Copies of this chain bind each other. A is one copy, B any other.
């Protein structure tokens, strides 16, 4: 004879609102043990309190409801813990991103803007190992990290050293629609003869180049300075932008420009 609780009582015990509980019922996350067929009144068992407490904690940590469902449905403790650890890791990443963004806001307010100079350059056609995928704006950094690892593993397998810094190509849609096909690449040494499916050729490109130094959260200021420079001189093209990741702190941004450009 289990103790049954009305939805209002269950709400008070679990600190979940009645509206939230009905929503979780609709989604099948916490289904009342009994529903009166004529009135529709929900009755919860006291044994359902721990489930509700878990959901509340996961939601407090902003886990999406479909992932909450996966956690609840996880057959064994190991599968459940994997999902939980993955979420906690994402939260930590977001936390670190927030700190960088606070720094970036401070930098902007204090007028610490990039003062690097613009240089015109012809990037020669280059053989590369390349990985491409349609990626959402917010997933780009994560994807890029993975692509880098994968490409460096390819280099190792092929037994060649890289012929230059890791980089990526971003098409216009990536900036306008915050989603587009990014290509990540590692240059091969000149005259390298490896041939795998990952091998590709980057075409020659005339570019206005600016080196961004500092946090990636500030990268837009370099885009602003470089893009404004190019727009004022009316030499910009609509083509893809190339970035070269020189080291932890410096990114070379290469903005496509017309042939006519001179320094």
Residues of A within 8 A of B (CB): 3, 5, 7-9, 11-15, 17-19, 46, 49-50, 53-54, 56-58, 60-61, 84, 88, 91, 95, 98, 101-102, 104-105, 108-109, 137, 172, 175-178, 217, 219-221, 223-224, 227-228, 231-232, 236, 238, 241
Q: Which residues of B contact A46 (CB under 8 A)?
A: 228, 231-232
A5 touching B108, Cβ below 8 Å: no
Q: A10: shortest Cβ distance to chain B, in Å?
A: 9
Q: A242: shortest Cβ distance to chain B, in Å?
A: 13
A219 touching B15, Cβ below 8 Å: yes
Cα A51 to Cα B58 with chains together (Å): 36
Using CB atoms, name the residue of chain B closest to A175.
B12
Given contacts A49-B228, A50-B224, A60-B101, 7 further A-B contacts (CB under 8 A): A8-B172, A12-B172, A17-B177, A18-B177, A56-B220, A60-B104, A95-B95
A14 touching B56, Cβ below 8 Å: no
Q: A15: shortest Cβ distance to chain B, in Å?
A: 4
Q: Which residues of B contact A57 (CB under 8 A)?
A: 101, 104-105, 108
Which of B5, B7, B109, B228 makes the CB contact (< 8 A) with A84?
Answer: B109
Can you report 11 A-B residue pairs in the complex whose CB atoms are below 8 A from each other? A12-B172, A12-B175, A13-B220, A15-B220, A46-B231, A49-B228, A56-B220, A57-B108, A60-B217, A61-B102, A84-B105
Q: Which residues of B contact A13 (CB under 8 A)?
A: 220, 223-224, 227-228, 231
Q: Which residues of B contact A236 (CB under 8 A)?
A: 9
Cα A7 to Cα B224 with chains together (Å): 14
Identify the interface centre among A13, A14, A49: most chain B CB within 10 Å of its CB. Answer: A13
Q: A59: shortest Cβ distance to chain B, in Å?
A: 10
A232 touching B3, Cβ below 8 Å: yes
Cα A175 to Cα B11 with chains together (Å): 6
Cα A9 to Cα B228 with chains together (Å): 10
Q: Which residues of B contact A176 (CB under 8 A)?
A: 7-8, 11-12, 17-18
Cα A168 to Cα B9 with chains together (Å): 20
Please judge, given known A-B contacts A15-B175, A223-B15, whether A105 and B58 are in contact too, CB under 8 Å.
yes
